Structure 1
């Protein structure tokens, strides 16, 4: 592992196409402005870039798709390495694992695993990068069965500050593997991960939309079902204020709408009928309250889960926030709808409550430092500065929603759900922070990657 390309990496400077490619982000409201940048497509290129940064005494930051650029520390100065590594996803159907190079998106993993009847605990969008999502926790539509997506990581390959290539797994540096999964970054440049897959035969997935005039009874019915929902089901309730732009169905842009989406999966063909019954139990109760504006729930294969949420496929500017909720009683439900529902004046395009519990709340003995979520629901809200809606409007309303939900906020967050760097973040306690810092000091003693450390992994309280 000590052989690498000794040719000097050419760091791209601002104003060049290479710099623009390396600094491209999905969240256009959170651009990055390093002094120099490089796109690395091989492990040797990563090693050469890190060693050149060390020679020039430059701090190093890392990203792939840039979906989380708004949640990261602002990238100013130093070198930014964008990892888009070659090699493709490799599935081992016998071991039910996938080796995934850094820069790979979840759509590529789903496509590779599906022919083997396997799935991964991926996010709701096909174009989200795998590595950042996994190491930041990961709240999947399979998560009430699998737990946090970070728990599926079985090995991590990374280049450290001295250019060395390491593999951390249960036998080779298990302490580093533990710290990487939820530790908040700052260890090096991850070049690949190995993740555990699970069997999926079919999935009942999709979304149903109603006028937000029916939000209160719909939310109550969804919450009552969620209280004892099966672990094979994970759903979200969303209040949408979508602009009348291409790609948005007119019925969904005519005013605020409420949406229930998610997935109920069947591990085997014998489980399909039961999955359909469980989905119908929820949907029949909701459809009985009001006639839907649109309904896409259907029995499909695993790839269909990536289409349920209808996340934007192209980069967009957005500003948002994330809060966990201990429960969702009548007062909490009223506070949520009062802040984002019809008549609230909310400029947020999307305000989501994601169902947690189930395996999300189970501490995985094989997991990392972040291996469970002690909350019943996760709130995420965001919107684009669009038309008359300004960034200041969105910032102000994020603060309003946070204040409304504060009585039910346990004071912790999930890194992969955080939208804004300046928002409160904390996912580790003081003891965990200290333990992770000891590992980070061992792996990166001079702090070459210190700017890449998540605020939630370094501050407590």
Structure 2
């Protein structure tokens, strides 16, 4: 069947400008090529698109900004719905909540919440979509204080396979709300979420960079600090091989560097001096070990956290991997630097160790299927297949890093950090996976969205309907 002939009023076919807009992804190494695609800008358009696809027996996939295109099974065939719903972020300052339409980015949420002295447990880049990040766990630079971002979700509005719009919250289908938060997706098309916000008066945030020649003592010092650090601080240690391109300071592109970045939260004005002290307790000993090439750490407002990580703002191709670590002893430090540090021959542009613990490790009594991370650090590494570096080169090196750190791997992942759909993934235990699947069976009995969930759930996907 030629699906784009059947659905001409709703969906666009390959080659049409509307199709190209709907299938844009941030990771250019993981394109999506469905039979037909649409960008939905209202709930009515989402419902019409889902009903049309259901009538034609088409499997349905969805995305917003396309940052996670590499983490899911490739979209090939069927119908794709891109959500960019209008209406804007609605902040209720009294209740400290925000209603966020699907397709909204974290930069928009931060801008809407800031005038009220509030913040959200957002990602490290302004252009990342809110919905996928939240429902996939969400490891924020506020996370040691707030926990996984998924725990902030209080309600989800969803279009089911038959086109009906439902709301899942604690009063109405709490079981569906539980499954949506970390269950892996594949329930329907989310059109909006309601999330908790938290007070913020200021944030000490930024990044400090050193020559990779100092990597070992710096990493050990950061490791020692992170093991007993205050929960208002969440940081990462990165090994970076930055290319000489516009936007990258020349000093950072002259050779491999290491970076310590993150944020220390001050919820009230009275907490600002303590936030400064906590940041200095981390950075002072590191600066004493070696003078930074560049140091942007400072006290700023909540928007500054979005700039600290220096993520690329434009779509790029990249191949990467992610897993969780139980500890980071001296042997693990040596294994990490041996695999990605100076002289390793690593083609990865960035290899990151993100500090966990604190509230990340605490189960939220109102949380969802994934409400905590039982690990000390998260590893993420990625690089672009540019020039002589091929996709195969990157995949081989990702496997090398995984093997080097294997003795300390927990065997688990966080969906929002996953980069490769074929990499080992697991974020739910068998009992939770089975419970999530029962909810999915109830909500989508025909399996219309069966191809649209994370493989980190411990069971095989059902065959799509049709």
Q: Is the 8 A contact 2:83 2:191 kept in 1?
A: yes
Q: Which residue of 2 aligns with 1:3?
A: none
Q: Which residue of 2 aligns with 1:326?
A: 326
Q: Unaligned stretches of 5+ in structure 2?
A: 1-6, 461-466
Aligned counterparts of 2:385 and 2:248: Cα–Cα separation in 1: 17
Q: Is the 8 A contact 1:8 1:48 kept in 2?
A: no
SS of 1:451's equivalent? coil
Q: Which residue of 2 aligns with 1:361?
A: 361
Alignment of 1:202-351 (within 5 A): 202-351=202-351
Q: Which residue of 1 aligns with 2:177?
A: 177
SS of 1:179's equivalent? helix
Q: Which residue of 2 aligns with 1:4?
A: none
SS of 2:405's equivalent? helix
1:308-344 CA-partner distances (Å, limit 9, x unpaired):
0000000000000001000000111110000000010
Aligned counterparts of 1:452 and 1:430: Cα–Cα separation in 2: 19
Q: Which residue of 2 aligns with 1:382?
A: 382
Distance 1:280 1:340, change over 3 A: same
Task: Number of aligned residue pairs: give it.
Answer: 454
Instruction: Give the superposition deviation at 1:9.
Output: 4.5
Aligned counterparts of 1:194 and 1:97: Cα–Cα separation in 2: 7
Instruction: Give the superposition deviation at 1:229.
Output: 0.3
Instruction: Give the superposition deviation at 1:8.
Output: 8.1
SS of 1:388's equivalent? coil
Q: Is the 8 A contact 2:154 2:194 kept in 1?
A: yes
Q: Is the 8 A contact 2:157 2:166 kept in 1?
A: yes
Question: TM-score, normalising length from structure 2?
Answer: 0.97
Aligned counterparts of 1:382 and 1:391: Cα–Cα separation in 2: 11
Q: Which residue of 2 aligns with 1:71?
A: 71
1:154-203 CA-partner distances (Å, limit 9, x unpaired):
00000000100000000000000000000000100000000000000000
Aligned counterparts of 1:427 and 1:233: Cα–Cα separation in 2: 24
SS of 2:195's equivalent? strand
SS of 2:438's equivalent? helix
1:411-452 CA-partner distances (Å, limit 9, x unpaired):
110000000000001101110111001100000000000000
Instruction: Give the superposition deviation at 1:458.
Output: 3.8
Q: Unaligned stretches of 5+ in structure 1?
A: 1-6
SS of 2:71's equivalent? coil
* More divergent stretch after superposition (274-283 vs 449-458): 449-458
Q: Is the 8 A contact 1:144 1:357 kept in 2?
A: yes
Question: TM-score, normalising length from structure 1?
Answer: 0.98
Aligned counterparts of 1:288 and 1:48: Cα–Cα separation in 2: 61
Q: Which residue of 2 aligns with 1:120?
A: 120
Q: Is the 8 A contact 1:29 1:319 kept in 2?
A: yes
Q: Is the 8 A contact 1:110 1:120 kept in 2?
A: yes
